[in-house]
Every structure is written in C-alpha cells, then in structure tokens.
Structure 1
Amino acid sequence: MRAGLGQALRGLLLLSARSCSCSCSGAGRRRRLVQPLPRCSWLSTMAQCSTEQRGRPHSPQYRLYFKNAEGKYISPFHDIPLFAGSKEDKEVPAKRSKTNGSETGLPKKPPPSRAGETVVFNMVVEVPRWSNAKMEIATKEPLNPIKQDIKRGKLRYVANIFPHKGYIWNYGALPQTWEDPHHKDKDTGCCGDNDPIDVCEIGTKIPTDIDDVKKHKPGYLEATAEWFRLYKVPDDKPENQFAFNGEFKDKDFAVGIIKSTHEYWKALLHKKADRGAIECTNVLVHDSPFCCSEEDARLIVQSAPPPASGDSVSAEVDVWHFLNK
C-alpha cells in the first residue's frame, strides 16, 4: 500500500462500487479515515476494459497492461476518467491551467461540492479483497501497468493479522488524481506522496451516510481502522497513527480532496508541475504533451517480457499473525 500525503494518507471508502478494472491479484504514520463516497462505477465503455499479462506471475517482471473497449493500450493512471459518465475531464485543456494569480502553474482551488451532490468516480482495483500480494500502479513506468511492489529485494505481501485475511476490501486508486509532493496539506502539515489517491471499496448496496455503514455492516469501519493501524506491525514497524483523532470525515470533505488532487493531476499532465520520475505517457489525453500514438503504446507493451507460467508463492504468505490489540 502506498504512503499517502507523505506521512498522512487519506484512505477513502467507496460505497455502491463497481471497479472499472482490476489487477490479478508505506502507509504514513498519520492516516485520514474518510466517510464513504456516494458511488463508484464505470463508464459503459470502460466496463469492457481488459488487461494483458506480461512476464511471470509472482515475479518481479510481472506486469498487467490495460486495454480499453476499442483494444487500445491505455494508462490506468492517466487514461481512465476520474468522473464516471462525464466527458469534461477526458482531456486536459489546451490552454495553460488557471492559477491563483501566480505564475507557478499550480491549479486553482476547486469549487466546493454542493450539498446533496451525487458524484460518481471510477476506481482502479489494484488488490482484490482477501488477497495478499501488494499490487500497485507502476507510476514510474510508461503506461503505468500493475506490478507487485518490491522491498529489500523481495516481493511484498501483506500479512494476515487475525482475524483479517490479507486486504479486507477491494483496494486501489482513483485515476487522474495525484498527490503533489510539493504541496503541503493544510490539515496535517504533510506533503503529498507522489501517487494517485488510495481507495477502499467496501460494498455495493449501502446508502451513503456513515451511519448506514455502521447499521448494515457493523464492525466494518472499526475493522478498517484496526487493519490500517496494525498491518505493518508484523514487519517490525510501529503502529500507524491517524489524523483527526481517528474520526471518519464526511463525504464533502472526501470529494473536496479528490477534486483538488484531480487539479494537481491536470497540472502534472500539462507540464505545470514538477513530475520528477512520474511517467505521464498516455494515449487518450490528446492535449497533453505526453500523449503518444497507439503504435508507440503497442511497442511499450511489446518491450516487456512475454507472458510465462507463474512462480510459486512463498509459504510465508499463508502465515497468520496474532497480535495484542
């Protein structure tokens, strides 16, 4: 799992969710727990997204590349729209993004959400529920395929901390969002983590009020907080701490964060922000200077190792850890 906002990750919980695509398989010390968003769905064209395997599963070379309904190779980071069903954000405007009266190129603050506003977002599922492999969008590789994270030369797996088996929700990211590492969050004083926003999808039929989650899935919010607090302990790391005294924030707060990081993503795709090692190659954001041809995208995928039979998984993945809570 990626660290969010440097040392302060915002874990967003999505309800009534259907992911637009999924994979096959260091949170910070302070973590935001946010009320579920209204819905997560996909565009009808994105419902036919598919993935293409390259390399061997359970190996450092394994990659999953994405294709859209037309069979074009795409980036799940940049080419899948953030807003489901909306065309307004499929392209970065040709003109320079407006700023807060400065020439820094940083995006202006987005307007606040209207009370009762229904906002539907696409989600990219990196890690399916109950699995252990720490899969993630490869933000520093062209077309940003899904890969398994590596630490100290070993593939990373999340431990089973009784009674939780692996990840306890579908886990992933919101496309076309970016937490700028040069932007300091006003609430936590921490900088962005240089990644898309992390998301947990917790259900398909629950209403959007936080009290409805407590009613229809009693214990799930508490389990989520416990999971994030303890999941690094088996790796001899300290327990994570939460911002806002561990309180879940409301929908408007979450939507505001998403919209602001979408503006930072726009700046990233239009060379108005320092991208560092982030790969911005895309196929569908036509006004972005990083947009490549379909042939270039095909050559990127073909340059990856060919598909092969999978390696065996270490027995350590199935070990259970019992912690004093």
Structure 2
Amino acid sequence: MAAHQPPPVALRRALFVSVAHSTLLQSTLSQSPSAVAVAVAVRRQQPESRAPPTGHGDRQSHPGSRRHHQLPALQDAALAQAGGPGRRRRRAASLQAARRRRAPLPSSSRRSFACRAIYRPQVKVKEEGKPETLDYRVFLVEDSGKKISPWHDIPLQLGDGVFNFVVEIPKESSAKMEVATDEPFTPIKQDTKKGNLRYYPYNIHWNYGLLPQTWEDPSFANSEVEGAFGDNDPVDVVEIGESRRQIGEILKVKPLAALAMIDEGELDWKIIAVSLDDPKASLVNDIDDVEKHFPGTLTAIRDWFRDYKIPDGKPANKFGLGNKPADKAYALKVISETNESWTKLVKRSIPPGELSLV
C-alpha cells in the first residue's frame, strides 16, 4: 500500500489562503453597515503618501513619530487575497491604512518649523467691541472657540506658488486697520496715534493686509534698498482683484510684483498679488501680465503709498529699486527672506522685544 503523501506545497498554500480569505469574508460580512462605513472613512482620511500637505484641501497635521505595528502574517495573507469588489476591498484597504498610519515618517517628510501650522479653513472671525472704537478687535478663532494668531498660526505657503493672505483693510475703506503685533493672539485693530484712531486721508482702492509667518527684521540693513532696516512688521500685501473682501478673511493669492517702499527710513515691502478666485487670476502670472490685464495699477499703487501722508504735512514716501516695482521672482525672494526672519523670531534666535509670539 502506498505511503500517504502530503499535499504539494502549492496546494497547501492555496488551502491556507482559501481559509484566510474565508475567515476575512465572514468577518467582513458580519460587520454592521455603520462599522463598515467607519472603516471606509478611516481609509479615506489616510492618503497613500505621507508627504506634508501643500494645498488648500490638506487639513491634517502629521505626527512626528509613532510606533509601527506590523500586520500578523495570517492577516497579511488574507488582505492580499481580499481584492474583490464591495465591502471586502474597502475593509482590507482601511485596515492597511490604519496600520500605515502608525508608521514613523522619514525625517525628510516632516514639516519644518516655519511651516508647522496647518491650514484652517474652519477658522472664523470673532469681533470684540464696537467698530471704530479703541476697544475694537477682530480675532481669528477655531470652531472650539480657541483664539489663534493671524500672524503666527496661519501658514504662509500652500504650495505651487500659492500663499495665504490675511485681509486687514478691505478695498474702498479708510480706517487704518492692522495686526496688533504686541497683543496676545495678534488680533486686528484700528491703529492709533496719540490716543486717536487713524484713518487714511482717502480710501484705499485695493484689499490690503499681511503675509502670515513673515517679518521685516529691524536689525537687518538691506543693501539692495539703500541699506534700509525692516519696519518690525509682517510683510504687506496689496491684492488687486475686483472683489471687496472682509477684515480677517483669508485668501489664497499668487504674488506678481514687489514695491520697496521706504517709510521714514524703514523698509516696508508691498507685495502685489491677486486672489486665485478672481476672474482674471489665470491671466496674470508676472509683472508684465499686470500691466496688460490691470493697466495702470502698479503706478497707481506706488503713487497712492507715496502720497498718502502728504495731507498730514509729512513728506512723500520713497521707493527703492529705482522707484520701480520688481518682478515676481524678486517678490518670491522677499517672501522667502522675511519668512526666514520670522522663523528666527519665533525660535527666539532674535529677541522679540515687545512683539507677541502667542
């Protein structure tokens, strides 16, 4: 009588996979619809790539380091065979994603200090006090009610040459609103002089505000702009789109040009930009496009900022770089350098003085 022969290796492996597949199928079918939905939701929230988010829709921060737990061999085999349609595939994928979520990020993928904040589309504007009074403040708050800083907590870059811009002064208004850099959470308030609220002598014709996570270092003399020192503020933005925006509104913009204004000896950069949702945004990508599609705008901006102090008996402001606007490449250079200065400030490599870092 022939001796009993064990099944071939291929057959044993097929039987093993079949058992594992059947086990997973039974487990999947036993899940309630709500449990399956949760598994699918987990899968959808965990992208395949763990690179730092760069776009508007990237809302989740990334952990610095978490323990990695490997799937047991049997579960791995079952998942490998669960590629069919329906709930099996979704549940298998969600289990794999849940395990991947615990894997540590490579050091090259971790976010830099200067870009640690995440984009918060759920941020709301909260007003305290009455407009056009000394007590009036505009705060940015999360859904939880927690206050955040429009200067420090909103990220500068969104990727692909797109930047965040926080509106301080809506177009066609004259109240001189600005981020209170010396107050906790740096709310937006109306500027004062000798205890009186400040107004421009006439309306500003563009949306005006700041680039978050930038800072014009007052200890740095810019050799390209007559050795002028920074004005100790975030970099200003003049947004040339057609819509009138609201105080505290956060826009996605692309820079187009830069003006090197010198205000009482201090360098006060003006970045010319356009909001991505403006009808002409796709037509303008550099300084020449501005002249073509917004004719006369660059000259009008320069003249407005040159002359607005004259009615108060002060001299006209000056401009460096030959009294002309610089192109987009130069504007991006200014943004990069002032972001580096901000990074040093919040790391306290440079003494903050009276500036609030909260």
Tell me the TM-score range normalised by the shorter chain: 0.5 to 0.7
Pairwise CA distance, 1:46:
3.0
Partner of 1:187: 224
1:76-87 superposed matches below 5 A: 76-84=150-158
Structure with higher Rg: it is: 2
The normalised TM-score by structure 1 is 0.59
243 and 147 in structure 1: CA distance in 2 versus 1, 3 angstrom threshold: same
Distance 1:128 1:218 in 2: 21
Q: What secondary structure, in the 3-state scheme, does the structure 2 residue paired with 1:248 have?
A: coil
Q: Which structure has more helix as a fraction of its residues?
A: 2
CA offsets, 1:34-60, max 9 Å, x none? Answer: xxxxxxxxx995333211111221111
Where 1:253 maps in the other structure, the secondary structure is helix
Q: Counterparts of 1:304-319 in structure 2 under 5 Å?
A: none
1:147 alignment partner, SS class? strand
The CA distance in 2 between the partners of 1:144 and 1:185, in whole Å, is: 26
Match of 1:200 in 2: 238
Alpha-carbon contact 1:177-1:258 (below 8 Å) kept: yes
Distance 2:174 2:355 in 1: 26
Contact map agreement 1:66 1:76 (CA 8 A) in 2: yes
1:1-325 to 2 correspondence within 5 Å?
Answer: 45-68=119-142, 71-84=145-158, 118-160=160-202, 166-188=203-225, 189-203=227-241, 204=278, 205=281, 206-281=283-358
> What SS class does the counterpart of residue 64 from structure 1 fall into?
strand
Percentage identity across paired residues of the two chains: 47
Name the aligned partner's letter for residue 81 of structure 1.
Answer: P
Q: Return the alpha-carbon distance in structure 1 between the equivalents of residues 336 and 129 of structure 2.
A: 35
- Deviation sequence 1:235-274 (CA, Å, 0-9, x none): 1111112112221111111111111111111111111111
AA matched with 1:236: G
Give the gaps of 5 or more residues in structure 1.
1-17, 19-42, 86-117, 161-165, 282-325
Q: What is the DSSP-based 3-state SS (H/G/I as helix, E as strand, rest coil) of the residue aligned with 1:267?
A: helix
Quickly say closer, same or farther: Cα 1:241–1:45, change in 2 above 3 A. closer
**Cα–Cα, structure 1 residues 69 and 176, in superposed 2: closer, same or farther, change >3 Å?**
farther
Identify unmatched segments of 5+ residues in structure 2: 1-55, 57-116, 242-277
Distance 2:163 2:119 in 1: 14
Distance 1:258 1:44 in 2: 19
- Aligned letter for 1:210? I
Structure 1 residue identity aligned to 2:149: S
Partner-residue secondary structure (3-state), 1:211: helix
Does structure 2 retain, via aligned residues, the 8 Å contact 1:45–1:69? no
Higher relative contact order (CA 8 A, sep 6+): 1
Superposed CA RMSD: 1.9
Q: Any idea what SS the aligned residue of 2:222 has?
A: coil
1:153 deviates by 2.0
SS in 1 for 2:139: strand
Q: Deviations over 1:281-317 (max 9, x none)?
A: 1xxxxxxxxxxxxxxxxxxxxxxxxxxxxxxxxxxxx
TM-score normalised by structure 2 residue count: 0.54
The Cα shift of 1:84 comes to 1.8
Q: How many residues are aligned here?
A: 203
The superposition leaves residues 176-214 of structure 1 with CA deviations (integer Å, 9 ceiling, x where unpaired) of 011111111121201111110011011222411222211
